[in-house]
């Protein structure tokens, strides 16, 4: 009797556990399926498909993306439509999350070539410690089961000697990071927390609109002097609006005249009674100070901006990055909450706070070592995936910086690697010439250079005979 009872209980427990596992797996798969669809530049058929994996630099923040321009360049060189690019980049994504989705992307799009530019976000979104995939059925389970990967993350977090029993906190941090990634948001720059655009002010006439359009057209043509003059006129006629000052400062920065840009923005933010204020203006003023080597004033400005816009991801990220540039503990950015308590509601402040408590007692160099270890393992997995699918890959640096993990793993696996640093250094005298107004991502011209260089590599990898870019 007792044996039957225990057998029944064990069976019920087994069935209940199985049901729970299946429910969890279904929920995770459904969540993944509800993510935004991949973007293609065109649905028209083509002989060759180029899959572009990466973060915001591939996505195209700041200008017309290089995947879109790459398709145009290749088809112009071919004299007919032979190529299409598929841009599956997600701003803010790290290498681990990129690798998670890579197999599904290869299966869905069946590309002839894969281009990968990655690594930029691992410094803030690389908490999940990656391990090389195990061969056999376990690898298949790991690759296709999101529940299995979630459990693996927990297991690594609990067992890793550098983090002791910090797995629950690590999981919480990763959820915070994933929230930024899943909704394709630039790190910290959510719509409700940042003020990117300046609304037309009261008294904004058709003439002012024409003046504004003329200024932007001049800037697009590279006439920054003329653009600055038009924006200055707009600022004079609409003194309480930031439309003119922001445009004028941006044009002056592109001319390398940071001191003048500082004066324009300081006057607009602090000297005009009842004047408009946005986190973008504070960010640009701090950015100008930073480019003049006055990092202390940049930090003061961004801190001042957080008093007015405590939830601004742009401002807090700039503050933390400034500390990193000074080789100071990035955790010091948390101290801004002592003078601006409201910043504790900032998504990135909460993220950094959890990370600091998880790694308490460990030097920042130890954390960097863990990030590098995870980074290298991710790139190894990606290289092995490409080899297993017999799909050639092209990896690259960013325009003005790169990561040794990408270049070294590419060399080990015979994957072509494009180092954009000498390319951009030769083509542009100043960074401002190829960067967008955010001072980080490329503008359309910068992405064009990437597209031209990638086009040459694609032609070489595919063994085609096409005219050079």
Residue ranges of domains in the chain: 50-124+370-462, 199-277
Of 192, 264, 273, nearest in space to 231 by CA: 264
Per-residue pLDDT of the chain (469 residues), as tens digits, is 455 555 556 555 556 555 555 555 554 444 444 434 434 455 677 899 999 999 889 999 888 999 999 999 999 999 999 999 999 998 878 888 888 889 999 999 999 999 999 988 776 554 443 333 344 454 444 444 444 544 444 443 334 333 333 334 444 444 444 443 333 333 333 333 444 445 566 777 888 888 888 888 888 788 889 989 989 988 888 888 888 888 889 889 888 899 999 999 999 888 877 777 888 889 989 988 988 888 889 989 999 999 989 888 788 888 877 776 676 766 778 888 888 899 888 877 877 776 666 555 555 555 566 667 778 888 999 999 999 999 999 999 999 888 899 999 999 999 999 999 999 999 988 888 898 877 778 999 999 999 999 999 999 999 998 876 5
Check residue 467 and give its pLDDT.
75
Q: Is the pTM of this model over 0.85?
A: no
Other CB atoms within a 10 A radius of the CB of residue 339 amount to 10
Check residue 356 and give its pLDDT.
67
User: CA 221, 418, 325, 263: dihedral to nearest 10 degrees?
Assistant: 0
Question: Do 371 and 123 form a contact (C-beta atoms < 8 A)?
Answer: yes
Q: What is the DSSP string of 71-121?
A: HHHHHHHHTS--EEEEE---TT--HHHHHHHHHHHHHHH--SEEEEE--TT
Q: How many helices (H) and strands (E) does the chain have?
A: 20, 6
Check residue 357 and give its pLDDT.
66
Q: What is the DSSP string of 366-422?
A: HHHHHHHHHHHHHHHHHHHHHHHHT--EEEE--SS---HHHHHHHHHHT--EE-HHH
Q: What is the helix (H) or strand (E) element at residue 456, kind and residue range?
A: helix 444-462
**Gap between the Cα atoms of 103 and 192, Å rounded:** 34
Domain 50-124+370-462 maps to which CATH number in 3.20.20.150, 3.40.50.1110, 1.20.80.30, 3.40.1030.10? 3.40.50.1110
Q: What is the helix (H) or strand (E) element at residue 40, kind and residue range?
A: strand 39-40
**Gap between the Cα atoms of 44 and 60, Å rounded:** 21
Q: What is the CA radius of gyration of the chain?
A: 25
**Gap between the Cα atoms of 401 and 394, Å rounded:** 17
Domain 199-277 maps to which CATH number in 1.50.10.10, 1.25.40.10, 3.40.1360.10, 3.40.50.720? 1.25.40.10
Check residue 270 and give its pLDDT.
86
Residues whose CB falls within 8 Å of the CB of residue 140, separated by 6 or more in sequence, listed in order: none
Check residue 149 and give its pLDDT.
45
Check residue 323 and give its pLDDT.
74
Of 338, 339, 346, 303, nearest in space to 189 by CA: 346
Other CB atoms within a 10 A radius of the CB of residue 260 amount to 17
Check residue 135 and give its pLDDT.
41
**Gap between the Cα atoms of 254 and 283, Å rounded:** 16
């Amino acid at each position: 009797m007792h044996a039957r009872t225990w057998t029944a209980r064990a069976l019920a427990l087994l069935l209940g556990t199985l049901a729970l596992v299946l429910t969890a797996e279904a929920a995770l798969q459904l969540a993944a399926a509800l993510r935004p669809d991949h973007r293609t530049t065109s649905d028209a058929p083509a002989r060759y498909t180029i899959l572009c994996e990466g973060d915001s630099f591939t996505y195209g923040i700041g200008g017309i993306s290089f995947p879109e321009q790459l398709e145009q360049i290749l088809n112009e060189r071919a004299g007919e439509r032979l190529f299409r690019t598929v841009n599956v980049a997600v701003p803010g994504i790290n290498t681990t999350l990129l690798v998670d989705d890579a197999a599904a992307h290869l299966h869905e799009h069946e590309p002839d070539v894969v281009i990968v530019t990655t690594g930029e976000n691992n410094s803030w979104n690389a908490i999940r410690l990656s391990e090389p995939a195990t061969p056999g059925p376990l690898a298949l389970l790991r690759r296709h089961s999101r529940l299995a990967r979630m459990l693996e993350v927990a297991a690594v977090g609990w067992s890793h000697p550098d983090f002791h029993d910090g797995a629950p906190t690590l999981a919480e941090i990763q959820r915070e990071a994933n929230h930024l990634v899943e909704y394709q948001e630039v790190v910290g720059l959510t719509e409700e927390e940042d003020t990117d655009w300046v609304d037309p002010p009261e008294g904004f006439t058709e003439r002012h609109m024409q003046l504004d359009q003329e200024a932007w057209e001049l800037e697009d043509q590279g006439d920054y002097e003329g653009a600055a003059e038009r924006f200055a006129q707009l600022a004079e006629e609409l003194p309480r609006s930031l439309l003119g000052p922001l445009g004028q400062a941006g044009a002056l920065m592109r001319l390398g005249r940071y001191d003048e840009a500082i004066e324009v923005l300081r006057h607009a933010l602090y000297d005009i009674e009842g004047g408009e204020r946005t986190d973008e203006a504070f960010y640009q003023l701090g950015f100008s100070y930073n480019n003049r080597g006055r990092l202390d004033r940049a930090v003061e400005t961004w801190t001042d901006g957080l008093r007015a816009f405590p939830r601004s991801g742009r401002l807090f990220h700039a503050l933390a990055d400034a500390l990193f540039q000074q080789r100071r503990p990035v955790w010091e950015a948390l101290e801004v909450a002592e003078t601006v308590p409201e910043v504790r509601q900032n998504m990135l402040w909460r993220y950094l706070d959890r990370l600091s408590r998880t790694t308490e007692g460990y030097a920042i160099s130890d954390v960097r070592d863990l990030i590098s270890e995870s980074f290298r393992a991710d790139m190894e997995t990606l290289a092995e995936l490409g080899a297993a699918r017999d799909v050639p890959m092209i990896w690259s640096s960013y325009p003005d910086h790169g990561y040794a993990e990408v270049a070294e793993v590419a060399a080990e696996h015979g994957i072509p690697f494009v180092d954009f640093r000498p390319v951009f250094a030769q083509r542009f005298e100043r960074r401002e010439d190829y960067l967008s107004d955010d001072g980080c991502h490329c503008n359309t011209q910068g992405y064009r250079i990437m597209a031209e260089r990638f086009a040459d590599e694609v032609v070489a990898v595919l063994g085609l005979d096409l005219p050079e870019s």
